[in-house]
């Protein structure tokens, strides 16, 4: 059976079937999540109802996972951004999962990535000042399964681009 959809790329196993209009919708929403459906439809060359149906389909498929405001950390008193490379004393699944669950509950942990090579986790944290950063580092090193922590304080951020490149 042939598709009448404008194929931007062939779907692979488990990959959603996205056409060029879907990709344009994603690019527009990634650039401006506050855009109205009417304006979005105009930019991608659709009328409003089919555009909204496509957006809903992308949301239901889990491709569009949310809409967020980008907040200036220093405006809320968070002057320090730092990364922590964390190594655990064991790579047993239960310990890895427990660590993820623990730090996921910390408001200052903005990202938590399990990594390969050089450690088990890479965290991005925010702190009000260096004393707060030191307290967070001590809290990390005090976790029962943490064997080592290396912190890297951000001097400045040259690029912080949310999302992914969309062709």
Q: Which of these CATH numbers, 1.10.10.10, 3.40.50.1000, 3.30.1330.60, 1.10.240.10, describes 20-60? A: 1.10.10.10
Q: Output the pLDDT for position 3.
A: 35
pTM of the model: 0.82
The class level of CATH for 73-153 reads alpha beta
Count of CA atoms in the C-beta half-sphere (13 A) of 128: 6
The tens digit of pLDDT for each residue in 117-149 reads: 889 999 999 999 999 999 999 999 999 999 999
Q: Output the pLDDT for position 167.
A: 75
Q: Kindly list the domain boundaries of the chain, sorted by start residue.
A: 20-60, 73-153
Is the pLDDT confidence value at 53 over 80?
yes
CA distance 69 to 66: 10
Q: Output the pLDDT for position 118.
A: 85
The tens digit of pLDDT for each residue in 148-164 reads: 999 999 999 999 998 99
Q: Output the pLDDT for position 90.
A: 95
């Amino acid at each position: 059976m042939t598709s009448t959809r404008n194929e931007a790329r062939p779907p692979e196993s488990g990959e959603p079937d996205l056409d060029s209009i879907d990709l344009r919708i994603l690019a527009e929403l990634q650039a401006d999540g506050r855009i109205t459906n009417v304006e979005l439809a105009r930019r991608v060359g659709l009328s409003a109802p089919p555009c909204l149906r496509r957006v809903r389909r992308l949301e239901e498929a889990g491709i569009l996972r949310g809409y967020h405001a980008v907040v200036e950390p220093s405006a809320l008193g968070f002057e320090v951004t730092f990364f922590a490379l964390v190594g655990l004393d064991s790579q047993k699944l239960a310990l890895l999962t427990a660590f993820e669950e623990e730090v996921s509950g910390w408001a200052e942990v903005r990202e938590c990535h399990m990594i390969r090579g050089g450690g088990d986790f890479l965290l991005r944290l925010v702190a009000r000042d260096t004393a707060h950063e030191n307290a967070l580092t001590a809290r990390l090193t005090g976790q029962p399964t943490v064997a080592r922590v290396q912190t890297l304080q951000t001097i400045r951020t040259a690029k912080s681009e949310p999302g992914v490149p969309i062709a």
